[in-house]
Amino acid sequence: MCMLFSDEYTEPAGNGESSLRERGSKFLGYVFPVHTETALKQYLQQIKQQYPDATHHCYAVVMHPDQSYQRSTDDGEPSNTAGRPILRAILSAGLTNVLVIVVRYYGGTQLGIPGLIKAYGDTAQLALQHAGRAPKFMEDELLLATDFEHEQDIYRLTEKLGGKIVQRDYSNDIKIVLRIRRSEIVKCKKMLSDFPRISLLKG
């Protein structure tokens, strides 16, 4: 999924789980929305504590709207048979800000390279489907100022842009931090000509 020319991206709507059995081995998939490495480590530790006797705890993670942060691990499985298939499942789903962990309990029968790739990939895919999808978009913040008499102008501008006010300062005149969708920035700056008493201080 290409995100270079769009402010839109997609995250999991929530947590997801899945389970799969393959020739005696049991695979358990878990999806967590994540935005930081700290959260990644916390969820991984949580799963390891929940399944301390599992043979492997493999995972892949993708973060940032442009999917620029990508990590995966095979946790002792043959190279590229676990983490990489999990990562491919995430990218194929077009998701970001997501961690997928697949826990394996070895069942006594070797699955071979193709079997491992399919089992880990399928488990991740099922868990991602269970988590659902939540469309998001990148936002930027603008610092606007006006006098007390024209405070309502800022509220009207905010409503037209579908933005949200995240900070207010009434110390001298009125300063408001407005968060809007990135694709609306140019439109906002053009619309300021309709509100001559509003000044754009930053953004």
- pLDDT tens per residue, range 57-84: 999 999 999 999 999 999 999 999 999 9
- Whether 4 shows a pLDDT value over 90: the answer reads no
Q: How far apart are CA 19 and CA 38, in angstroms?
A: 26
Average pLDDT for 10-37 = 96
In the chain, pLDDT over 90 holds for what percent of residues? 59
Rounded Cα distance, 158 and 15, in Å: 33
Local confidence band at 203 (pLDDT 50, 70, 90 cut-offs):
low
Nearest to 100 by CA among 11, 177, 25, 163: 11
Q: How far apart (Å, rounded) are the C-alpha atoms in residues 159 and 6?
A: 22
To which residue do tokens 């609306």 refer?
A: 184
Please say whether the structural domain 138-202 has been given the CATH code 2.40.50.140.
no
What's the pTM value of the predicted model, to 2 decimals? 0.80
Domain positions in the chain: 8-136, 138-202
What tens digit of pLDDT does each residue of 15-27 get? 999 999 999 999 9
Q: Could you tell me the CATH superfamily of domain 8-136?
A: Impact, N-terminal domain (3.30.230.30)
Q: Which helix (H) or strand (E) holds 167?
A: strand 164-169
pLDDT band at 176 (very low <50, low <70, confident <90, very high): confident
